Structure 1
């Protein structure tokens, strides 16, 4: 699965960058969650990992929100990262999967995983969340975005290329339970209905790395 996902995105990288150059396809409320993520980070200037940064379009949006952010990107696909480096040549962008991040413990104030857990089966999210918790400083924040629901779907000829990718829907209550079980307290949860151009509802969870003096709390938006 991991190898197939890497190869698939290497093939589609240039087309992906052309077809999705920025955040024009996100709903305003989606981007409001990213603004909330930036505002929720405990320190300034904040250090952020975009885990699964793809071609770097959300890195561009983060820099627009706060030009002082210290941003690092990781992605499974070297081809996608090549596109990101062409846009952000001065940033540290590394090839890595979510479950094996090449960063020190307590490295970041925030981790953004924007639609980058969609190729992770639900039962494997725990290992990913463990790794996100490891690289986050105590009190740091994690924002997840994903298609909400249950089951999986096969992407045939994505972005016009003869490859096949498998994507997983994630059930938001399950996501929240997994986060709590792997070192996070839930801050903000948002599920929204699919828009006319979308096939699925969309889910977003903002969670905070929990310390012993900071018990989990939940707030639903």
Structure 2
């Protein structure tokens, strides 16, 4: 699956940038997340794509120390070009626990649809390991009433990838178990696709285990 995703997003990087660089549809929740961050916060953008979320955050808060990762080299190149003041590197989101750095915040825009239910649970647990106590996370994904997956094809039919829909209740429970408190959990229709529902979750890592 990682190799399939790398190939797809490497090949489609320019198309993805053209379609998704504007994140104003999620502006309200991104602003809420961004404005609550402490001064000079270190923020990691996981599965950063062309750096669309990084660009929004840095435009709103130029004091943020932004870095990002993606598994597709062409996405990293675009993210760096779009955010020259930030730092981006190749990495698989399934292996974020291997980083030696710690962060005040983490964002992951639509990376979860490319993780299975079990992989998403591990990812959330790994987030807790690299976030400082009190750190914040911003997650967006596609949701359904039950956990599901489907083979999603590109508009030209040339590419396909297994896409996972994650249930809100499941993600909330996994976050709670990993030591997070939910700040916001919001559903909204995906632009131009009324049959697809997005889920945005903002959560904060507890200051201490068991708090």
TM, length-normalised to structure 1: 0.86
**Structure 1: 4+ residue segments shifted above 6 A:** none
CA distance in 1 between partners of 2:20 and 2:175 (Å):
29
In the alignment, what sits opposite 1:175?
A: 171
Q: Which residue of 1 aligns with 2:116?
A: 121
Which residue number in structure 2 is paired with residue 112 of structure 1?
A: 107
> Structure 2: which 5+ residue stretches go unaligned?
none
Cα drift, residue 161 of structure 1: 6.7
**After superposition, what is the alpha-carbon deviation per residue over 1:182-208, rounded to whole angstroms, capped at 9, x for unaligned?**
221222211234565343111111111
Query: CA offset at residue 88 of structure 1?
Result: 2.2
Q: Conserved in 2, the CA contact under 8 Å of 1:12 and 1:161?
A: no
Contact between 1:49 and 1:72, CA under 8 Å: does it hold in 2?
yes
Q: Which residue of 2 aligns with 1:157?
A: 154
User: Is contact 2:94–2:119 with CA below 8 Å preserved after alignment?
Assistant: no
The structure whose residues are more often strand, as a share, is 2
Unaligned runs of 5+ in 1: 216-221
Could you say which residue in structure 2 is the equivalent of 1:218?
A: none
Q: Which has the higher helix share?
A: 2
Which residue in the other structure is 2:71 paired with? 76
The answer to whether the 8 Å contact 2:7/2:72 transfers is yes
Question: Could you state the TM-score of these two structures normalised by the residue count of structure 2?
Answer: 0.90
The total of aligned residue pairs comes to: 208
Q: Distance in 2 between matches of 1:11 and 1:79?
A: 8
Q: 1:172 deviation in Å?
A: 0.6
Equivalent residue, structure 1, for 2:21: 21
Corresponding residue number in structure 2 for 1:184 = 180
Q: Is the 8 A contact 2:179 2:209 kept in 1?
A: no
- The residue number in structure 1 matching 2:139 is 144
RMSD (Å), alpha carbons = 1.9
Report what 1:219 is aligned to: none
For the Cα contact (< 8 Å) 1:98–1:131, is it kept in 2?
A: no
